[in-house]
Chain A
Amino acid sequence: MKAAVIVFPGSNCDRDAKRVLEAVTGKPAHMVWHADTDLPDVDLILLPGGFSYGDYLRTGAMAAHSPVMREVVAKAGKGVKVLGICNGFQILCESGLLPGVLLRNVSLKFVCRHVPLRVETNQTIFTSAFEKGQSVSIPVAHGEGNYFADAQTIEKLEGNGQVVFRYLDNPNGSMNDIAGIMNDKGNVLGMMPHPERVAEPLHGCTDGRIVFESLVKALAT
């Protein structure tokens, strides 16, 4: 699996994403600077966590207009897999690749802790290595993770099985405890929890590694 990590000014989990991708795929990940307009042809594009553009205006709002994002949207349209983690999820919503928006946590405070989640579907390339309904523990670290969308969108997401991860102990007030969703074609996933932070024994839990193992299984070329 060939992967690219997009680096925006203010991204701070790009090096973490690179490390877990290389550990799981055994291949170097391409680090793509946001101002570049050409993306190498890869199987997976990863939008990492962080504070792109310092969260000015809205989280992810400015990054969504970076030159490289036009390329990411185009490739996603052609079916390339895209994974957005935390700030990456916010950028996917702001760029229209995913519906809805991430609002300020109801607690009005940044929250960083391990959160129990349920894997709602394993019929996706991102979660095929999980058991359906499996409960896992993946840490969150954000101030704006409160997922919101209008009623029809929520209904569609639930009806189509596009809710991939659901909080079992909601840390931010997200509607329907939504922690991660994918687009209707199933090739773009956005999730607030950080799977790369529970990917090796040092982390005390490796539930997050299964996301990357699922991707390698599905995209191994």
Chain B
Amino acid sequence: MDTQTQSKQGGMAISPEIEKLIKEHNMNPDEYSVLLGILKREPTEAEFGVFAAMWSEHCSYKSTRVWLKTLPTTGPQVIMGPGENAGVIDIGDGQAAVFKMESHNHPSYIEPYQGAATGVGGILRDVFTMGARPIANLNALRFGDPSHPKTKSLIAGVVAGIGGYGNCVGVPTVGGETSFHASYNGNNLVNAMTVGLANANRIFTSQATGVGNAVVYVGSKTGRDGIKGATMASGEFNADAESQRPTVQVGDPFTEKLLIEACLELMNTEAVIAIQDMGAAGLTSSAVEMASKGQLGIELDLDKVPLREERMSAYEIMLSESQERMLFVLKPGHEKEAEDIFKKWELDFSIIGKLTDTGRIVCLRNGKKEVDIEVDPLVESSPVYKRPYEPTPAQPELNAADFGLPEGQTLLSVLKTLVGSPELASRRWIWEQYDCHVGTNTAQAAMGGDAGVVRVEGTKKALAMSVDCTPRYCMADPVMGGKQAVAETYRNISAVGAKPLAITDNMNFGNPEKPRIMGQFVGAVEGIKEACIALDYPVVSGNCSLYNETNGQPILPAPAIGGVGLMPDVSKMATIAFKGDGQSIVVIGENKSHIGQSIYLRELFGKEEGVPPPVNLTAERRHGKFVRQLIDESVITACHDVSDGGLLVAIAEMAMAGALGCKLEGPVKDAGFWYGEDQARYVVTTKDPNDLIARAETAGVPYMILGQTGGSAFILDGESLELDWLCELHERWLPDYMGS
């Protein structure tokens, strides 16, 4: 060791090799001194890797744990909240819905197809590792401005990757959202959500029990793909993102399908004590998680790990993020039974170790002890930071009167611009690459609708699910933006006739070491918390993706929310399409022409200014309950929540979905009324307006009749537009842009 280059660290010299490891893994010196305190000696390379992975932002939530703990996670419907691989909620009749959302932002920017595909693969595993059969997938995608040279290839790669993986494993993709903004030019976001169905009293966890029990590795062989994936996800991009390509994992949906069937078959027997999927930091996090949850030790013989490449070091085996792998603890005597199942499905099955009572993780490679760390301190004393934060300064309050129709524009000419704009144009080009029907239980795919609805097989119940977030609102006011994201999922689920039950979240933010970015995170958590409490809509799982910045340019903060609700009778499900002529079109909620941060303001005036629309949670709760009642009692024939673009865009979407025109009259003729983005609103159609009005008045819910359905034209205050032309504009933008 070259003494000149030593630097002191807690009284112990640092060798150049360790110095290099510290830099490579984004570990800061204080964290290294804590490591030395635990080990009381210099770590081997493998041990260093284990610490770096477990203490990475991605795995330890060190910058966010303090705040995430404040979120509400309990309720009569919650069987298992955050802390396990996925959240579990009770949906009655001894059944449970299991769901979570996860991000693969960094990998998808480096290698769009594989990055997105493995995002789907990873979130599927988080759900079926709990014993649930995945029944639906959703995704939330945010790309750069369409004018940016990389955007088109990223869209093509990400969509093909999500479809390629999801379609092959046979899980229908039933919903999601896609949006564009220049802040994602160097850093697109790919969030994937899976919902599964399980037997409420056969939920599996990673809690290992029984000293001496066999630890079994199943699934694909281990290779060198994805090494340091977790640490890569916890660092900003710099110019040479291309050089990080080997850190992107490679997915094989065929093996995942076999793994799903084999694991579910095994979990149907009495053989399984604990199960953990190998996700970020692969074998390291799954083995440590199992031991820590069971308050036990674990001993692994890495020579027994099925490998795809030769001469892999302990470091590489422990940190590889090869896909489609699971770790099981089996009850003694069931090893043969389990092996036969995995042999049938032609998957690797290898007993790679056992549980011990040492409370340590010990890994041998070629007979040599490469890892020997006490589990508790490794997990308990992972760093927790209360980083300084600055709240986002308040935006000015805009007055709709200052932003009337631009010169030479009419209300309907503006509508043509908006429905054909990148943010509001049809996403058909994307979702027609996803199989939304496999499983034959899909009642409605939220392609343009409000929520995906999938029947619970063998019953008349259904689960409704929606993913939502409005990043421009969150940028302007993180607290209100966080509230709005939760409220929009609440509305989308209520709009199909389901009772919202719980949410998962995917917190996509920039570098938390910058106070202003940390302030965005703290604000969003506060908003989410308030909305969850007010709506009895707790958080049961989630994921954080930080350091979404390239060359110091942070993204618009995107606290994406994935909501799940229960529909008692799927035959009563509502959809957005106009159903017939001569039906009254009624808006539920207050129309206050809130123009700040609206799509109208951005598309027509090029401005991203103003306070985002205020969220009144009491109104959200009351209007949601009212709309669900209208649907349950078949008072209305169509229902759509009002969100991006405002009232007229919502009505246009209903007309286009039903291929049926309408005749509208507004109380006023200004743009604010039709394009303001006030919250807590729904548009409904009914054959019996008097019944609707009577009910609204007794419920104290504001409403306004706007006109009637019918004909083939979209008519507003006498101005008319052929519906076919509107549909053409709406459908054409994305296929033209993607050049197919």
Which A residues form the contact surface with B (CB < 8 A)? 9-10, 12-13, 15-16, 19-20, 33, 35, 49-51, 53-56, 107, 109-113, 139, 141, 143, 194, 196-197, 199-203
Contacts and interface: CB of A to CB of B under 8 A. Distances in A.
B740 A109 contact: yes
A113 B448 CA distance: 14
Contact of B437 (A107, A143, A197): A197
Contact of A111 (B253, B433, B438): B433
A139 B442 CA distance: 13
B257 interface: yes
B443 interface: yes
B89 interface: no
30 contacts: A9-B254, A9-B257, A9-B346, A10-B254, A12-B169, A12-B438, A15-B439, A16-B438, A20-B440, A49-B438, A51-B253, A51-B257, A54-B255, A55-B168, A107-B740, A109-B433, A110-B164, A110-B433, A110-B434, A112-B433, A139-B437, A141-B435, A141-B437, A194-B437, A197-B437, A197-B440, A199-B440, A200-B440, A201-B571, A202-B570
In order of increasing CB-CB distance, the 4 nearest A-B pairs are A12-B170, A54-B254, A141-B435, A16-B440
Contacts of B346: 9
Contacts of A15: 439
B687 to A, nearest CB: 21
Contacts of B438: 12-13, 16, 49, 141, 197
Given A13-B438, A141-B438, 9 more contacts: A9-B254, A9-B258, A12-B169, A35-B344, A49-B438, A107-B740, A112-B436, A197-B440, A201-B571
Interface of B: 160, 163-164, 167-170, 252-255, 257-258, 344-346, 432-441, 443, 455, 570-571, 740
B254 A110 contact: no
Contacts of A194: 437
A55 to B, nearest CB: 8
Most buried by B among A12, A33, A55, A113: A12
Q: Name the residue in A15, A16, A20, A112 with the highest tally of chain B Cβ atoms < 10 Å from its Cβ.
A: A112
Nearest to A9: B258
Nearest to B573: A202
Nearest to A19: B440
Contact of A203 (B160, B252, B440): B440
A110 B440 contact: no
Most buried by B among A50, A53, A110, A143: A110
Contacts of A54: 168, 252-255
A88 to B, nearest CB: 14
A214 B170 CA distance: 27
A12 B168 contact: yes
Contacts of B344: 33, 35
Contact of B258 (A10, A16, A20, A200): A10
Name, among A54, A194, A202, the residue most crowded by chain B CB atoms within 10 Å (CB to CB). A202
A60 to B, nearest CB: 14
A196 B168 contact: no
A53 B168 CA distance: 10
A55 B168 CA distance: 9
Contacts of B437: 112, 139, 141, 194, 197, 203
A67 to B, nearest CB: 13
A170 to B, nearest CB: 15
Nearest to A53: B254
B170 A13 contact: yes
B432 A10 contact: no
Contacts of A110: 160, 163-164, 167, 433-435
B168 A51 contact: yes
A111 B252 CA distance: 20
A29 to B, nearest CB: 14
B432 A112 contact: yes
Max chain B CB contacts within 10 Å: which of A13, A49, A109, A143?
A109
Contacts of A16: 438-440
Contacts of A199: 440
Nearest to B462: A202
A119 B435 CA distance: 24
Max chain A C-beta neighbours (<10 A), residue from B169, B258, B437: B437
Given A9-B258, A13-B438, A51-B168, A113 B432 contact: yes
Nearest to A194: B437
A13 B257 CA distance: 12
B190 to A, nearest CB: 18
Nearest to B173: A112
Given A50-B170, A51-B168, A110-B164, A12 B257 contact: yes
B168 A10 contact: yes
A53 B164 CA distance: 14
Nearest to A197: B437
B116 to A, nearest CB: 14
Contacts of A203: 437, 440
B432 to A, nearest CB: 5
Contacts of B434: 110, 112
A24 to B, nearest CB: 13
A10 B435 contact: no
Given A10-B257, A56-B254, A202-B455, A111 B440 contact: no
A109 B167 CA distance: 12
A66 B319 CA distance: 37
Contacts of B441: 202
Contacts of B570: 202
Given A20-B440, A139-B437, A202-B455, A109 B160 contact: yes
Contacts of A143: 167
B458 to A, nearest CB: 9
